[in-house]
């Protein structure tokens, strides 16, 4: 709760700073403001999760004024080197700010640092590159995220049994989520043991590895996927093996497929953050960083931005979606060109 | 319309219509982008345009010879990350940079040699063999790294990526040297010229006393070496190595080669100059889509359409030439 309040406070501060900048600049100049470009760079462009993020960025930009232009760039593949190239290409357009979700911690460091050196503020969101010179990170505390999944599992299967954790080894956010879940289990259900499955971030592969595991180990009671594609893959495996309802599947994030599987009961729950808000906040931070005030910031020559903002996370279940008002929030994903 | 004037006919026959059309496309895109974006025709963007396709460009040189020989090598998307990871681990093991780089590139060459030997011994189509190698290497890349990114090199090493003699990155210098070498050798060197003969008709080449297997060994080893070089350069550019590097890179490389006019259906036809143009076209498209703000979702639609146009053009020119040759004989 404290973190949530801190986040709200930080966002309010940033919005206020941005609004102050806007009103003072608008007051002094009656003429049309010069166009500003802000770029969002992601990996797996086209993924519904990042469409939500970009929708947040678009709305945030619109709230400031029509002189703000935004764009979504990045490779369709989960390839950090291609994403680094996308950052560099975007940089050639001399944008006013870049917000980026990093495919891995290290590979984008040179590109992010190059942008900062050339005076373009970079804000990381969703997936960080903490060793780079990025100004701020807007994301989720992945340990807490994993703990929410751990609690959902214990609430369903009790304090004994075997579970599987689906992840892509090396992806820091997933490793943190897995660790958060493991830590929760160690503390609250030490008799629950776990197996780690690598699905390479692919739904078909998730189905394959889950099917193999469920056939070879009938003691598995629950599966936690640390990313968005794992739970639909595990649900497909359970359907093939006629095990729907026997295995508790807890996913991460949401997209249209996950929402349908939650409604049908194939997936018991999914831990969610708010991608729309992440995109919204990340843009606001980049705008604030691109508009320094008269008060010198710790990031000079950039504007005032906090180094870290953590959003909240919660468990979304089929029961929550029975409420049409709640369901409407998740059922209409934005379509991005 | 039939052209009767022999001088005009001679001139028209000398024109490489494929290169001409491709060059016009490139020129039109350059002009359109220069008008559309003030940031396009800048030195900084030109450097980014080249740098962002430089690994593909390097590998396209080797791929051109492979395709001319009648084969294909899709293992490069496995070799690139494998050699990047090999190089990275050697760097972490304090092996001198030059030695580690040479060793990693040789590893790439050895994988090329394995590709060729599997093709020869098992008598399987090169695409299947190199696909098997690609999958094996992708699995190995994950197994070796555990999915983690290999990083944490010394500060001295990290400076290599930013080292720019005469303002050009090491990768661009490597490409310039290799491109000049390939252009010259593909026109004058017997081994390179033999690739065309083997690709055109392997049996005829063998019957004429040529060691076709030696030629094929050369093209696959060279392709592996260049993919190895791309892997090493990637590690220096990004100061890290990951199993995720080079995803689908083989498709981009083959597309660049095909757009450049190297025939995918008939071995023995194609050129390095065409590949240089095809590579420039691809680099331009990737850059233009980002610079123009047009959704990059349409990038592959455009590239795919261009590939069809290029193949049709290539086949059309081939048919016209064949017809002209028949008429001349008659």
| Domain edges within chain A | 2-134+274-306, 142-272
Query: What is the predicted pLDDT for the residue at A39?
Result: 96
| The listed CATH number (3.40.47.10, 2.60.40.420, 3.55.30.10, 3.40.50.2300) that belongs to domain A2-134+274-306 | 3.40.50.2300
CB < 8 Å to A86, chain B: 290
Of B39, B147, B161, the CB nearest to A198: B147
- For the entire predicted model, the pTM comes to 0.82
Query: What is the predicted pLDDT for the residue at A70?
Result: 95
Query: What is the predicted pLDDT for the residue at B167?
Result: 85
Out of A31-35, B90-94, B285-289, which region has the weakest mean confidence (pLDDT)?
A31-35
| Overall average pLDDT of the A112-120 stretch | 95
Of A45, A73, A168, the CB nearest to B147: A168
| Overall average pLDDT of the A47-75 stretch | 93
Query: What is the predicted pLDDT for the residue at A18?
Result: 47
User: Nearest CA to CA, how far is B322 from chain A (Å)?
Assistant: 42
CB < 8 Å to B286, chain A: 89
Query: What is the predicted pLDDT for the residue at A77?
Result: 83
Of A73, A74, A169, the CB nearest to B148: A169
Angle at B143 between CA B81 and CA A199, to 5 degrees: 95
The nearest alpha carbon in chain A to B161 belongs to A110
Sheet holding A97-100, edge to edge: A68-73, A36-41, A97-100, A122-125, A136-140, A308-311
CB < 8 Å to B238, chain A: 80-81, 84, 106-107, 109-110
| Overall average pLDDT of the B217-221 stretch | 97
Out of A24-38, B98-112, B294-308, which region has the weakest mean confidence (pLDDT)?
A24-38
Q: Quick one: how far is CA A256 from the chain centroid?
A: 16
User: Nearest CA to CA, how far is A90 from chain B (Å)?
Assistant: 7
Q: Report the percent of chain B where pLDDT is more than 90.
A: 65
The nearest alpha carbon in chain B to A88 belongs to B48
* A82:B247 CB<8 A: yes
Which architecture characterizes domain B42-286 according to CATH? Orthogonal Bundle (1.10)
User: Using 50, 70 and 90 to split pLDDT, how confident is the model at B192?
Assistant: very high
Q: Give the ipTM of the model, two decimals please.
A: 0.81
Q: Which CATH superfamily is domain A142-272 in?
A: Response regulator (3.40.50.2300)
pLDDT in tens, A148-203: 999 999 999 999 999 999 998 767 788 899 999 999 999 999 999 999 998 877 88
Query: What is the predicted pLDDT for the residue at A8?
Result: 47
* B245:A80 CB<8 A: yes
pLDDT in tens, B62-117: 999 999 999 999 999 999 999 999 999 999 999 999 999 999 999 999 999 999 99
Pick from A118, A127, A170 the residue to mutate for testing the B interface (most B CBs within 10 Å): A170
Per-residue three-class SS string for chain A:
CHHHHHHHHHHHHHHHHHHHHHHHHHHHCCCCCCCEEEEEECCCCCCHHHHHHHHHHHHHHHHHCCCEEEEEECCCCCCHHHHHHHHHHHHHCCCCEEEECCCCCCCCHHHHHHHHHCCCCEEEECCCCCCCCCCEEEEECHHHHHHHHHHHHHHHHCCEEEEEEEECCCCHHHHHHHHHHHHHHHHHCCEEEEEEEECCCCHHHHHHHHHHHHHHCCCEEEEEECCCCHHHHHHHHHHHCCCECCEEEEEECCCHHHHHHHHHCCCCEEEECCHHHHHHHHHHHHHHHHCCCCCCCCCCCCCCCCCEEEECCEEEEHHHHCCHHHHHHHHCCCCCC
Q: Report the percent of chain A where pLDDT is more than 70.
A: 90
| Overall average pLDDT of the A109-134 stretch | 94
| Overall average pLDDT of the B152-178 stretch | 89
CB < 8 Å to A171, chain B: 147
Of B42, B234, B291, the CB nearest to A81: B234
pLDDT in tens, B118-129: 999 999 999 999
Out of A210-224, B223-237, B311-325, which region has the weakest mean confidence (pLDDT)?
B311-325
Q: Which residues pair with A152 in a beta bridge?
A: none
User: Using 50, 70 and 90 to split pLDDT, how confident is the model at A19?
Assistant: very low
Query: What is the predicted pLDDT for the residue at B314?
Result: 79
Number of Cβ within 10 Å of residue A100's Cβ equals 33
Q: Say whether residue A263 is in contact with chain B using an 8 A CB cutoff.
A: no
User: Using 50, 70 and 90 to split pLDDT, how confident is the model at B10?
Assistant: confident
Indicate whether A25 pLDDT > 70: no
| Overall average pLDDT of the A307-315 stretch | 92
Query: What is the predicted pLDDT for the residue at A23?
Result: 43
pLDDT in tens, B16-53: 888 998 999 999 999 999 998 888 999 889 988 999 99
Distance CA B63, CA B50 (A): 19
Q: Report the percent of chain B where pLDDT is more than 70.
A: 98
User: Using 50, 70 and 90 to split pLDDT, how confident is the model at B6?
Assistant: confident
Q: Say whether residue A170 is in contact with chain B using an 8 A CB cutoff.
A: yes
Give the domain ranges of chain B: 42-286
Q: Say whether residue A209 is in contact with chain B using an 8 A CB cutoff.
A: no
CB < 8 Å to B142, chain A: 169, 198, 200
Query: What is the predicted pLDDT for the residue at B2?
Result: 62
User: Nearest CA to CA, how far is B288 from chain A (Å)?
Assistant: 10
| Overall average pLDDT of the A33-59 stretch | 92
Q: Do domains A2-134+274-306 and A142-272 have the same CATH topology?
A: yes
Q: Say whether residue B149 is in contact with chain A using an 8 A CB cutoff.
A: yes
Indicate whether A6 pLDDT > 70: no
Query: What is the predicted pLDDT for the residue at B318?
Result: 76
């Amino acid at each position: 709760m404290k973190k949530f309040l801190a986040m709200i406070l930080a966002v309010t501060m940033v919005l206020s700073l941005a609004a102050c900048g806007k009103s003072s600049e608008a007051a002094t100049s009656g003429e049309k403001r010069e166009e500003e470009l802000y770029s969002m760079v992601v990996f797996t462009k086209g993924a519904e999760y990042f469409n939500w993020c970009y929708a947040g960025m678009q709305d945030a930009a619109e709230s400031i004024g029509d002189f703000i232009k935004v764009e979504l760039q990045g490779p369709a593949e989960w390839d950090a080197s291609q994403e680094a190239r996308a950052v560099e290409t975007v940089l050639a357009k001399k944008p006013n700010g870049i917000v980026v979700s990093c495919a891995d911690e290290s590979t984008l460091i040179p590109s992010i640092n190059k942008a900062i050196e050339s005076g373009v503020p970079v804000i990381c969101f969703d997936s960080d590159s903490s060793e780079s010179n990025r100004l701020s990170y807007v994301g989720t505390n992945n340990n807490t995220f994993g703990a929410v999944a751990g609690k959902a599992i214990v609430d369903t299967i009790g304090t004994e049994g075997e579970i599987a954790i689906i992840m892509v080894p090396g992806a820091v956010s997933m490793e943190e989520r897995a660790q958060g879940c493991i830590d929760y289990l160690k503390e609250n259900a030490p008799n629950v043991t776990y197996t780690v499955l690598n699905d390479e971030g692919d739904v078909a592969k998730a189905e394959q590895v889950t099917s193999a595991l469920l056939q070879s180990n009938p003691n598995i009671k629950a599966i936690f996927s640390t990313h968005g594609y794992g739970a639909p893959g595990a649900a497909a495996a359970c359907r093939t093996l006629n095990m729907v309802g026997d295995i508790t599947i807890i996913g991460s994030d949401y997209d249209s497929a996950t929402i349908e599987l939650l409604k049908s009961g194939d997936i018991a729950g999914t831990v969610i953050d708010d991608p729309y808000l992440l995109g919204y906040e990340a843009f606001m931070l980049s705008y604030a960083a691109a508009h320094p005030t008269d008060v010198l910031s710790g990031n000079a020559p950039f504007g005032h931005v906090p180094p870290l903002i953590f959003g909240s996370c919660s468990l979304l279940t089929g029961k929550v979606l029975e409420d049409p008002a709640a369901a409407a929030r998740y059922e209409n994903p934005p379509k991005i060109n | 319309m039939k052209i009767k004037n022999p001088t005009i006919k001679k001139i028209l026959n000398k024109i490489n219509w494929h290169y001409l059309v491709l060059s016009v496309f490139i020129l039109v895109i350059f002009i359109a982008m220069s008008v559309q974006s003030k940031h396009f025709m800048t030195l900084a963007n030109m450097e980014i345009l080249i740098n962002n396709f430089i690994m593909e460009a390097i590998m396209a040189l080797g791929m051109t010879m492979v395709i001319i020989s009648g084969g294909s090598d899709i293992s490069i998307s496995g070799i690139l990350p494998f050699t990047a990871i090999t190089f990275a681990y050697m760097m972490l093991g304090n092996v001198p940079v030059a030695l580690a780089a040479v060793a990693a590139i040789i590893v790439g060459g050895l994988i090329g040699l394995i590709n060729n030997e599997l093709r020869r011994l098992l008598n399987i189509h090169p695409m299947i063999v190199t696909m098997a190698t690609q999958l094996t290497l992708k699995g190995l890349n994950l197994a070796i790294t555990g999915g983690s990114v290999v990083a944490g090199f010394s500060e001295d090493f990290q400076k290599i990526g930013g080292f720019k003699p005469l303002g050009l990155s090491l990768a661009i210098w490597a490409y310039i040297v290799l491109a000049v070498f390939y252009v010259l050798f593909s026109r004058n060197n017997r081994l390179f010229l033999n690739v065309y003969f083997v690709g055109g008709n392997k049996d005829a080449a063998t019957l004429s006393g040529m060691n076709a297997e030696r030629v094929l060994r050369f093209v696959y080893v060279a392709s592996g070496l260049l993919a190895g070089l791309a892997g090493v350069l990637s590690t220096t550019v990004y100061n890290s190595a990951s199993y995720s590097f080079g995803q689908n890179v083989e498709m981009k490389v083959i597309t660049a080669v095909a757009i450049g006019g190297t025939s995918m259906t008939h071995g023995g036809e194609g050129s390095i100059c065409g590949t240089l143009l095809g590579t420039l076209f691809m680099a331009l498209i990737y850059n233009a889509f980002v610079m123009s703000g047009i959704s990059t979702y349409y990038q592959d639609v455009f590239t795919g359409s261009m590939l069809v146009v290029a193949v049709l053009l290539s086949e059309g020119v081939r048919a016209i030439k064949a017809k002209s040759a028949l008429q001349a004989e008659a």
